[in-house]
Amino acid sequence: MRQTWVATCLAAILLVSQATAADREQAEAAESKAEVLEQNAAAQGSKARPTPSEIITKPEVQAVDPAGEAPLNDAITCLARTIYWEAKGEGVAGMEAIANVVMNRLGHEGFPNKICDVVRQGHEQGACQFSWWCDGRSDDVEKDKSYAIAKEISRKALNRQLTDRTGGALYFHQQKVNPSWSAEYIRTVEIGEHVFYKPRGGVAK
């Protein structure tokens, strides 16, 4: 009886370790693909669609940062956490709009060429472009379902499978506030709890 119990435990441990290894492989594949897709998206004038082998799959993206606690050092995690923290209480349209802004900024004049740098921009001066990044609170995920949706939206954004709902917006703010800077830009659309803008003449300030 004891031998059977030990064998069962060992088999369970082996299955778990195999599953963990498979998840790690998928996460690494997703992060590697995301790095290439990020570079392509940042390249000015690059409109080429990714090849089937370059596309991040659904299982791959969900294997990245499964607990929502990983350091923000890869494109998928930085984009997914931004979508999550800026719009987790909204529907898919509101979450996709936040992804649109990040991707629109990527490589645009006045913005960095990496998603994590786009998200962190301004923190040196204490005025983050995305408020969640330097609000002093934990960045760990609280709602697994919303985070899974955010990662799927990140996947589509990096794969260039996401329609731009914002009309080329580079900026946004919550509807309940009226920042002075909004008068300098062209208002494009309202989605969920946010209002979106693009610069006049296409040049960021």
Instruction: Show pLDDT as tens, one digit a residue, over the chain (205 residues).
Output: 555 654 454 444 444 444 477 888 999 999 999 999 999 999 865 667 899 999 999 999 999 999 899 888 999 999 999 999 999 989 999 999 999 999 999 989 889 999 999 998 876 655 677 878 776 677 788 888 999 999 999 999 999 999 999 999 999 999 988 888 889 999 999 999 999 999 987 666 5
Angle among Cα 102, 49, 64 to the nearest 5 degrees reads 55
The pLDDT of residue 101 is 96
The pLDDT of residue 83 is 96
The pLDDT of residue 16 is 42
The pLDDT of residue 139 is 74
The pLDDT of residue 204 is 62
pTM passes above 0.75: yes
Q: Quick one: 187 exposed, middle or buried, by C-beta within 10 A (0-12, 13-18, 19+)?
A: middle
* 100 neighbors 166 (Cβ within 8 angstroms): yes
Strands 194-199, 171-174: parallel, antiparallel or unpaired by DSSP? antiparallel
Q: Does residue 171 lie in a domain region?
A: no
Q: Does residue 109 lie in a domain region?
A: yes
The pLDDT of residue 14 is 44
DSSP-derived secondary structure letter, 196 = E
Measured from the Cβ of residue 61, the count of other Cβ atoms closer than 10 Å reads: 27
Q: Does residue 192 lie in a domain region?
A: no
Range of the domain at 84: 2-44+53-162
The pLDDT of residue 55 is 96
Structure token pair of residue 191: 């989605």
Q: Does residue 88 lie in a domain region?
A: yes
Total of domains in the chain = 1
The pLDDT of residue 125 is 58
What is the rounded CA–CA span in Å between residue 58 and residue 185? 36
